[in-house]
Amino acid sequence: MTGVDHPGSVEPNGVIGILGGGQLGRMLAMAAARLGLRTHVYCPDEYFPAADVAAAKTNASYTDENALATFAASVDVITYEFENVPVETVAFLLSVGACVRPGAMALEMAQDRLVEKEFVGGLGAATALFHAVNDLASLDAGLKKVGRPAILKTRRLGYDGKGQTRLTEADIDLHGAFEKAIEFAWAEVGAAPSILEGFVPFEREISIIGARGAEGDIRLYDPTENVHANGILKTSSVPAAVSEATAEIAGAVAANILNALDYVGVVGVEFFVLPGGAIVINEFAPRVHNSGHWTLDGCAVSQFEQHIRAVAGWPLGDPARHSDAVMENLIGDDVHAWRSMSEQKNACLHLYGKRDARAGRKMGHVTRLR
C-alpha cells in the first residue's frame, strides 16, 4: 500500500485492484503500467487474459470473503472490468474498508435492464417503449402496449445478443401462431424476468465514451458510430455521421448519467439515432466499452488510461482525437488473419491472448487509422 499525495489519489507504484480478468481487464492493466501503477486482478476463472500482464492475480470465487478481504488489503483502490460482478461482492469489499470505483449504485442500475430504463427515463432521456415481463400474461400485455416488432430481453446477464429474442408481425394472422410465438419467446429467454422493448426505427447507432473524475470533472470522447452483426459489435468508426447538435445532446445525456450516479471512471452509453437527429438511449455500461477501443490508437489518452486515471484520483487526460479511425472486432476465426492484418498500412493490431477461437468470441481487434 502507498500513501497519497492528494485526498483519494493513488501515487505511482500504487496498486489498482481489478475485478474480472477478461480483455478489458488486460487492457486496463496495460494502461496502468504505462502510468507506473501496478495491478492485482481478481478472477474466478482458472485462466484469464489479464493474468498475462498483471503484477499479481487472485484466482477465487466472487463469494470467497477470505480471498476478497486479502485482495482488498493488497490494493489501494478497486475497480471492475464488467458489469456482472455481483453487487454483494462490492458490498463486502466496501464493508472491509476498500475504496471501489465506480461504486455499487452503478452496478445495481446496469445489471437490471428494467431498473436501468427507469433510471435513465427519470433523468429525462428518451428510451424505447418498455414493459416488465414476468410471465406469459405480462408478455401478452406488454405486446399490446409497445406493439410489434418488439424485443424480449432478460433483465439480467444478457450481452452480445444473448438472452434476447425478437417478436415480429410474421404469422400472426395464422390461427394460434401468435400464442405459439410468445410461448417460444418466453422459452428463448429461459422463462426469466424480462423486459419487452418496442422497436426503434433508428438510422444508425452511436455511443459516447465518457469519464468522470474523483472531483467531478467530466471528459467525453467523440461520438462513435457502431455496426453490429449477429448481436455483436463488428465495427466502431469515428467520426460518426451525426450532426453537432445530436452529438451535444448525446454528450449531455452521458454527463447526466455520470453525475446522477456520482460516478468515478469511464462509462459507455449507447444510443439509437432517429431520422432527423433525435436520439433514444439504448443502455449504458459502467466500465470501459468495446466501442471505445479505437481510443487506444486514435487518442493520446485512451479510454483505458482515462479509467485508470479516474479511479486512481488523478487528473483526467485530454480525450481529443488525433486521427479518424475504424475499429473492427476480430470474432472467432477472424483472428486467424492476424498475419495479413499486421502487414496493413496504418493498422494497429491488438490480440487478447485467448487460447481458443470459438464462434462469437472476441479474440482481438484491429484499428485502422485514416
The burial class, CB within 10 Å (0-12 / 13-18 / 19+), for 364 is buried
Average pLDDT over residues 323-344: 97
Residue 315 predicted with pLDDT over 70:
yes
Q: Does 290 share its domain with 344?
A: yes
> CB neighbours (10 Å) of residue 201?
8
* pLDDT score at 76: 98
| Ranges of H-type helices in the chain | 23-34, 65-73, 87-95, 104-110, 113-122, 136-146, 177-188, 244-260, 295-298, 303-311, 338-342
- Tell which of 167, 198, 229 closes a domain: 198
Residues 87, 80: Cα–Cα separation, whole Å: 11
Q: What is the SS3 assignment for 103-122? A: CHHHHHHHCCHHHHHHHHHH
- Tell which of 198, 227, 248 closes a domain: 198
Is residue 150 within 8 Å of 198, Cβ to Cβ?
A: yes
Q: Does 147 share its domain with 162?
A: yes
What is the residue whose three cell numbers read 500482464?
53
Q: Does 231 share its domain with 304?
A: yes
| Ranges of H-type helices in 6-81 | 23-34, 65-73
Q: Kindly report the CA angle at 158 between 156 and 166, in degrees rounded to 5?
A: 110
Is residue 259 within 8 Å of 246, Cβ to Cβ?
A: no
Tens-place pLDDT, residues 197-234: 999 999 999 999 999 999 999 999 999 999 999 889 99
- Tell which of 62, 83, 100 closes a domain: 100
Query: In terms of Cα–Cα distance, which of 116, 132, 157, 124 is closest to 268?
Result: 116
What is the residue whose three cell numbers read 478497486?
78
CATH code at 297?
Answer: 3.30.470.20
Residue 117 belongs to some domain of the structure: no
> CB neighbours (10 Å) of residue 355?
8
Q: Does 365 share its domain with 305?
A: yes
Tens-place pLDDT, residues 261-271: 999 999 999 99
> Tell me, what amino acid is at 213?
G
Residue 317 belongs to some domain of the structure: yes
> CB neighbours (10 Å) of residue 165?
18
Is residue 253 within 8 Å of 282, Cβ to Cβ?
A: no
> Tell me, what amino acid is at 214?
A
CATH code at 89?
Answer: 3.40.50.20
Q: Does 247 share its domain with 334?
A: yes
Q: Does 170 share its domain with 295?
A: no
Residue 109 belongs to some domain of the structure: no
Q: Does 193 share its domain with 208?
A: no
* pLDDT score at 254: 98
Residue 3 belongs to some domain of the structure: no
* pLDDT score at 148: 83
Average pLDDT, the chain: 92
Q: Does 292 share its domain with 358?
A: yes
Tens-place pLDDT, residues 3-42: 334 557 999 999 999 999 999 999 999 999 999 999 999 9
Give the number of domains in the chain: 3
Q: Does 227 share its domain with 337?
A: yes
Q: Does 51 share its domain with 139?
A: no
- Domain around 159: 129-198
Average pLDDT over residues 46-62: 96
Q: Does 184 share its domain with 220?
A: no
